[in-house]
Amino acid sequence: MHFDKPAGSNPIDRLKVVGQPVSRIDGPLKTTGTATYAYENRDIGGKPTYGFVLGAAIGKGRISSIDESRARAAPGVLAIVTARNAGKLGVGAFYVDRALAGPGVDHYGQAVAVVVAETFEQARAAASLLDVRYVRAHGAFDLAAAKDIAVTPRAAAFGPPPQSGIGDFAGAFAAAPVTLDETYTTPDQSHAMMEPHASIAVWQGDRLTVWCPIQQLNWGTRDLGLILGIPKENIRLLAPYIGGGFGGKGTVLADTVAAALAARAVGRPVKVALTRPLMFNSTTHRPATIQRIRIGAGRDGKITAIGHESWSGNLRGGRTEAATASTRWLYAGANRMTRLRLAVLDLAEGNAMRAPGEAPGMMTLEIAMDEMAEKLGIDPVEFRILNDTQFAPEEPQRPFSKRQLVECLRVGAERFGWRQRQSKTGAVRDGQWLVGMGAAAAIRGAPIAKSAARVRLDGQGIVTVETDMTDLGTGSYTIIAQTAAEMMGVGLDQVVVRLGDSRLPESPGSGGQWGAASATSGVYAACVKLRETVAQKLGFAAATGIEFADGHVQSGERRVPLKDAAVQGELVAEDEMTYGDLSKQYAHQTFGAHFVELGVHAFTGEIRLRRMLAVCAAGRILNPKLARSQVIGAMVMGAGAALMEELVVDPRAGCFINHDLAAYEVPVHADIPQQDVIFIDEVDDTMSPMKAKGVGELGLCGVAAAIANAVYNATGVRVRDYPITLDKFLDRLPVQV
């Protein structure tokens, strides 16, 4: 099915199942511990062996020798795989990191060897007996030190252009009566998902099967094929359940490659799970940024010039953190400039993490907007509303398909009680606590991609949906089941969903906030084809004008059970949803607003969140219960980014020293207060027949800045370097009397 004009009325609009707050159909499996994650699979074609990955102990240099004698003599050891005997290895199309170090070492923690033994404990013990000798080389580990030699990155398939501009930014900024020119920093951050990177691999001849936690299986087969030098058609990836990813499991990483190499070496299934320190230092992370934001405005508050520059670092050939993405779309302003710069750093690869680009970009832009509002003497919410636009700022001829930013801000301000906020900083006290409120806008792109599905109808009236879409705990199983149930007119108890198998019809997978809208649209397309087949089988004159409801098919006075269409055998329909040029005619984005109230202890500087509110406009909400879960989870992640999350670089060793969940702090229940989420009513008929967008990343964008702005409102102290830890402002707190 090809979607090239705005959607008209269709069966989804009935909203009997879609749009309802249905509980996750996989919930009972998750809560009873019977959902099988990659490392837990038992039906793998033989007794498993275990691989243990040894990571590089230097940040840059080369391996001069590896003495394997003691390790090979250890109990249970079956094989040791290194670059010397692994065969020629390529690099995938998405990540640039090499799967195995040797002889060069590109970063600390890069896999040096995989020791395979009969048990995990034997593999781990033997790995400690490997004697690896290194020759250290000078490495670059400090973004600030490398900033002046950063270069313009290559254009990437994802993210904004390296440079953009319209009008005369420099001239307009110089002429503006009110200006802001500030620099902000965001640190390296970890995905810190619950499920570690863990895989099981088994070979059958020249064919490879891997149980793995990969978000985009189509990328996974492609990249694993490129790395191993085998046709992607010879690879089957299985990922029915994934225990969190946040972009950190986008495609093939060290665990999957190590398991495949080890299984080939021993001729048996091999299980590999990365330890937490290796997850932090050998997989991907969100890279640190240095961002300069300049805003010029007239005294009426209208922005006349806006410029955003960002510097980040990565391995050679890696991508930049696209922090300027949101600035290109969010506010009006005739004169504009954005620039990205990339420095080569010898740290683990920086790559996609939930809302890449927008999340760190909004952490800084939305502080700058607050600072500018204060300079102008305008309420921060009203300043944002004043600079709204219904057209793409860099393409005035291109309207937004839907843009309800103003509605989000106004509804949020009313619900949150924003009028009670005191513009004078440090003015509100609650005992020994200084109380403040902060707000921020939110924006995140609304991409959609080709997606396919297969739908089956059997003689019992059971509808089975098959697609390689994945579920990271986001609710893919449920919204796909809701889509099929709505289209075929059956209850959810009559729908079976099969996901996470690369042999099933191809979806774009989970990531980029495209998963929900794309995968359900593919299911819609397949169901349209199945409806046509059913109508033909049941002898209806045409598929149009037929209602599928309550397990029956009806046209006029004739009403037939749906299952009767498959009485002579299962019916199968397969199709994909593809797209025309509507995304070029319209700017597709999601919008929102975040509001935060918090307290800062007047003497200790401790920060305690009190209330959080998110307001989101993101197309049709396919399941408000699951969407709310996504947004409050993103708000928690935003709180962590604002107040505690920071990968600390040791410039001597070139590693992240807080490489576990004891030292890398993430929010816990005690850190998170009352959370509320409001969805603004919206359907976007230019997106797809589902009229839906994604929402899971929108809920993160702007949260950290709202917290930073609330800290300023409470204390009068502006912190421009995340995370906002008390050592950065304690000595500047108002003097208490």
Q: Which residues are catalytic?
A: 697
CB atoms within 10 A of CB 333: 24
Place of tokens 């291109």: 398
Rounded to 10 deg, the angle between the 703-715 and 624-643 helix axes is 50
Peptide bond into 689 cis (omega under 30): no
- Report whether 630 contacts 677 (CB < 8 A): no
Closest CA relative to residue 607, chosen from 469, 410, 434: 434
- Tokens (6 digits) for 339: 């620039």
Supply φ then ψ for residue 463, to 5 degrees: -105, 120
Tell me how far apart the alpha carbons of residues 81 and 83 are, in angstroms, rounded to a whole number: 7
Q: 89 CB contacts (<8 Å, ≥6 apart)?
A: 83, 98, 99, 100, 227, 228, 229, 257
Supply φ then ψ for residue 256, to 5 degrees: -70, -45
On the CB side of 516, CA atoms within 13 Å amount to 30
Peptide bond into 177 cis (omega under 30): no
Tell me how far apart the alpha carbons of residues 218 and 243 are, in angstroms, rounded to a whole number: 19
- Tokens (6 digits) for 114: 């995989």
Closest CA relative to residue 701, chosen from 391, 214, 361: 361
Pairing of strands 495-498, 463-466: parallel
Tell me how far apart the alpha carbons of residues 692 and 616 are, in angstroms, rounded to a whole number: 13
Rg (CA), the chain: 27
Place of tokens 């309802």: 20
Place of tokens 């002898």: 539
Over the range 271-280, which residues count as b (16 or more CB within 10 Å of their CB) and which as e? bbbbbebbbb
- Report whether 712 contacts 425 (CB < 8 A): yes
- Report whether 1 contacts 522 (CB < 8 A): no
The secondary structure of 569-636 as a DSSP string is: S-EEEEEEEEE-SHHHHSB-EEEEEEEEEEEEETTT--EEEEEEEEEEE-BB-S-HHHHHHHHHHHHH
Tell me how far apart the alpha carbons of residues 194 and 191 are, in angstroms, rounded to a whole number: 9
Tell me how far apart the alpha carbons of residues 506 and 720 are, in angstroms, rounded to a whole number: 43
Q: 43 CB contacts (<8 Å, ≥6 apart)?
A: none
Give kind and range of the element (H or E) at residue 555.
strand 552-555
CB atoms within 10 A of CB 152: 12
Tell me how far apart the alpha carbons of residues 18 and 22 are, in angstroms, rounded to a whole number: 9
- Report whether 451 contacts 467 (CB < 8 A): yes
- Report whether 689 contacts 637 (CB < 8 A): no
On the CB side of 460, CA atoms within 13 Å amount to 8
- Report whether 383 contacts 405 (CB < 8 A): no
Tell me how far apart the alpha carbons of residues 186 and 203 are, in angstroms, rounded to a whole number: 43
Tell me how far apart the alpha carbons of residues 17 and 493 are, in angstroms, rounded to a whole number: 12
Tell me how far apart the alpha carbons of residues 345 and 138 are, in angstroms, rounded to a whole number: 11
305 bridge partner residues: 296, 335
Supply φ then ψ for residue 427, to 5 degrees: -90, -15
- Tokens (6 digits) for 297: 């405005």
